[in-house]
Amino acid sequence: MNIPLTDFYRFENGELVTETTKDIFLGKRTVLFMVPGAFTPTCSEKQLPEFEAAYDDIIAKGVDQVICMAINDDYVMQAWGKSLGIEKVRLVGDGNGHFSIGVKAAVDKSNLGFGARAWRLALVLNENGMVEWAGVEEGKRDNATDDLYVDSTPARVLEALDQIEAAKAQAAAAETQALLDATDS
């Protein structure tokens, strides 16, 4: 699966800056985690701080950037990060929800007065924007009353990164063995 081509809007020195999916993700191996919203309990007390704490371990596994995304505007995302002392994880607002819709993560949370939100998930994206791994919380649906945080944790991401690297090493070893077998024939 490729991630969708969308625009993201942020403000820099009072000026509106538009970035595309390509600007943010192309050429960078990325761990992206999506949260229901800035300043919400699980996102603020657990998910974002845990990813900030695990940032160096994630980067050490061959990742270039860690991004947190929510269907919130850039002002809200930056204020949220500042309130939690976030310095390493990049916060990106999907203000219009187009990216969330494009990765099929958008859900309706009108039952809580939130409107459109992203379902909690984590992705490992390669340099071309292809999904290498997805940790999507169980039970994705509109107006959910539960808010699971099991499959999109930094621990699961680190596990997945180890599994991806092990699979690559195994494939490389098999390819080398096939070449050796071909030259012996």
Residue 173: predicted pLDDT: 78
CA distance linking residue 132 with residue 99, whole number of Å: 18
Following DSSP, what letter does each residue of 70-113 receive, concatenated? Answer: ESS-HHHHHHHHHHHT--SSEEEE-TT-HHHHHTT-EEE-GGGT
Give the 3-state secondary structure of residue 150.
coil
Residue 79: predicted pLDDT: 97
68 included as an active-site residue: no
pLDDT at residue 1 tops 60:
no
Q: What is the longest distance spanned by two Cα atoms in the chain?
A: 69
Helix (H) / strand (E) containing 9 = strand 7-12
> What's the mean pLDDT in 27-32?
98
CATH number of the domain within which 152 lies? 3.40.30.10
Residue 181: predicted pLDDT: 76
Q: Determine, yes or no, domain membership for 111.
A: yes
Q: Determine, yes or no, domain membership for 2.
A: no
Q: CB of 49 within 8 A of CB of 68?
A: no
CA distance linking residue 19 with residue 85, whole number of Å: 24
Residue 170: predicted pLDDT: 84
Structure tokens at 113: 């007065």
Note down the domain range covering 23: 7-184
pLDDT at residue 161 tops 90:
yes
Q: Determine, yes or no, domain membership for 1.
A: no
Count of domains observed in the chain: 1
Q: Determine, yes or no, domain membership for 175.
A: yes
Q: How many CB atoms lie within 10 A of CB 163?
A: 13
pTM of structure: 0.91
CA distance linking residue 101 with residue 111, whole number of Å: 19
Q: Determine, yes or no, domain membership for 64.
A: yes
pLDDT averaged over every residue in the chain: 93
> What's the mean pLDDT in 119-144?
95
> What's the mean pLDDT in 87-116?
95
pLDDT tens across 37-91, in order?
999 999 999 999 999 999 999 999 999 999 999 999 999 999 999 999 999 999 9
> What's the mean pLDDT in 115-137?
95
pLDDT tens across 13-22, in order?
989 999 999 9
Structure tokens at 111: 């039952």
The active-site residue, picked from 3, 43, 77, 144, is 43
Residue 180: predicted pLDDT: 75
